[in-house]
Amino acid sequence: MNRARTLLTLLGVILGLAGGLVYSWILNPVEYTDTAPASLRQDFKEDYLSLIASAYMATGDLNRTRARLALLGVSASPEELSRLAQSRLAAGRPESEARALAQLAAVLGERPAPPMQSPSPSPERSTSSVSPTATVSPSPTIRPTSIPSPTPGAPFALLEQDPLCDPNLPASLIQVFVQDAAGEGVPGVQILVVWDNGQDRFYTGLKPELGVGYADFAMEQGTTYSLQLMEGESPVTGIVAEECVNDTGEAYPGSWLLIFQQPEVP
């Protein structure tokens, strides 16, 4: 008798659980609403991160950018941003996104984040009554940033081109430094490198630890490269990894150092 009661209770529990699961999984499944950016799927997070960078390019508001990054809950290290810039470029996303990510990588690399207060999605408050049907409003004021950006219409010119023999370099590199007229590194400058059977694009600022105006490209021995800044003058041609010799007499492929500078506007 007791056993029958126990079995009945157990049957009830099983039916109850099954009923609960049928209700919660089939009849009325969970709908994700009111979620936070940190819960986004990885590909959406990458889109969001890229959007943060693009918005930063427009506003130059670093504090707000950091608050947005904190909301997203990603590390957003310069390395991570660099990787993302390259992958999005390879995926055919707009160049403006890669440029924005490079610029943000440069800024974050140059100025590590201070301790962050809990972020709020609407940090600034004041009253307003703007209607979406109003006529086009004036563009928002671009807030200043100390990170220089290329001045349209002032092409960079090759200032220096030197062969480099450094056995400590991880590979045979074309090292590029891009500076503004004041000698400050300029991030986000697109560089095109072309060789016999291929080409590649990369950006300054993706390795901010080496300078915001720095970029490099790994050469293969025996290949001749041409390099041009998209905002530059004529291309630099005939770049080949020349042979260097280390202290023990062993040969290794050398690198090139190219410095570009924007001319002063009179």
Q: Is 28 in the site for other proteins (CB under 8 A)?
A: no
Instruction: Select from 115, 43, 106, 59 the least CA-distant residue to 79.
Output: 106
Q: Which of 112, 114, 115, 140 binds other proteins (CB under 8 A)?
A: 140
- In whole angstroms, the minimum distance from the beta carbon of 105 to other proteins comes to 17
48 touches other proteins (CB under 8 A): yes
Identity of the residue, 13 or 218, whose beta carbon is nearer to other proteins in the bound complex: 13
Q: How many residues bind other proteins (CB under 8 A)?
A: 66
Q: How far is the CB of 176 from other proteins (least distance, A)?
A: 24
Nearer to other proteins, 23 or 237 (CB): 23
Least distance (Å) between residue 88 CB and other proteins = 10
CB 200 within 8 A of CB 217: yes
Contact by Cβ (8 Å): 217, 179: no
User: Is the CB of residue 15 less than 8 Å from the CB of residue 8?
Assistant: no
* Among 31-39, 105-113, 168-176, 185-193, the segment contacting other proteins (CB under 8 A): 31-39
Chain centre distance of CA 141: 24
What 8-state DSSP symbol labels residue 135? P
Is residue 94 involved in binding other proteins (CB under 8 A)?
yes
CA dist 249 and 244 (Å) reads 9
256 DSSP β-pair partners: 163, 174
Of 123, 211, 227, give the one whose Cα is nearest residue 173.
Answer: 227
> x/- contact string, 113-132, with other proteins (CB under 8 A)?
--------xx-xxxxxxxxx
3 state SS of 233: coil
Which chain residues interact with other proteins by CB under 8 A?
Answer: 5, 8-21, 24, 30-37, 39-42, 44, 47-48, 51-52, 54-55, 57-59, 68, 71, 91-94, 96, 100, 121-122, 124-141
